[in-house]
Amino acid sequence: PPAHSHSDWIGPPDKHSNLRPVIFYVPPEESALERRLREARQEAQASNQRFWARHNRAFRQEKEEFIYSRLKAKGLEMRDESGQKATLNAEEMADFYKDFLSKNFKKHLQYNRDWYKRNFRITFLMGQVALVRALRWLRWRKKNVEQ
């Protein structure tokens, strides 16, 4: 993002977590409230990134392992004659999906709780910041009108 910009910039989805990273703009006269908001957003972004990157990597890895073990049980190789990667059909993969979901169930419950808490807190802070800014602008307007 350009150096002179006064707003946040959001980028393309991350390869591992599929989340879009945000670069936050730090205004020179950032109030304490605004700093709290920015830090909350940065912290949430980092935490989300960690969770999803790890989770997706685990998914991919376990999926590979599952395919490999199933193919081996069937007596096939990972790649067939034409060099194409061998895959299992949807019904065979269904066992893996079910397993994966139940294994990660507790992890997801914990993450959901965290995410909802963080989301509410950030949105509430945004509301506070917006309110303060609006009041400030109104006061500035009043001062200008009086002059």
Partner 1 sequence: GLFVWRLRSTGEPQMACRFVHLYHVANNRLITFQYFNFLKRMYVTQCNKDLSQQAKPKSDSIVSPFHELPQLDQEKKVVHKISPVSPVHQSGSETSSRNELREMKSAAETEDSVVPVGAESKEDRQWKEMKLQLDDLPGILARLSKIKLTALVVSTTSAGFAMAPVPFELACFLLASLGTGLASCAANSINQFFEVPFDSNMNRTKNRPLVRGQISPLLAVCFAASCGIPGIALLTLGVNPLTGALGAFNIFLYTCCYTPLKRMSIANTWVGAVVGAIPPMMGWTAATGSLDAGALLLGGILYSWQFPHFNALSWGLREDYSRGGYCMMSVTHPGLCRRVALRHCVALIGLSALAPVLGITTWTFPVISLPINLYISYLGFRFYRDADRSSSRRLFFCSLWHLPMLLLVMFTCKKSVLEKEDEGNLPRGGHETAVEMRLP
Site residues (CB under 8 A) for partner 1? Answer: 1, 5, 7-13, 17-20, 22-23, 48, 52, 55-56, 59, 90-91, 93-94, 96-98, 100-102, 104-105, 107-109, 111-112, 115-116, 119, 122-123, 126-127, 130
Smallest gap, in angstroms, from Cβ of residue 127 to partner 1? 6
**In the block, residue with structure tokens 């910039």:** 9
Smallest gap, in angstroms, from Cβ of residue 108 to partner 1? 4
Nearer to partner 1, 86 or 126 (CB): 126
Nearer to partner 1, 78 or 109 (CB): 109
Smallest gap, in angstroms, from Cβ of residue 6 to partner 1? 9
Q: What is the rounded CA–CA span in Å between residue 25 and residue 6?
A: 6
Nearer to partner 1, 68 or 116 (CB): 116
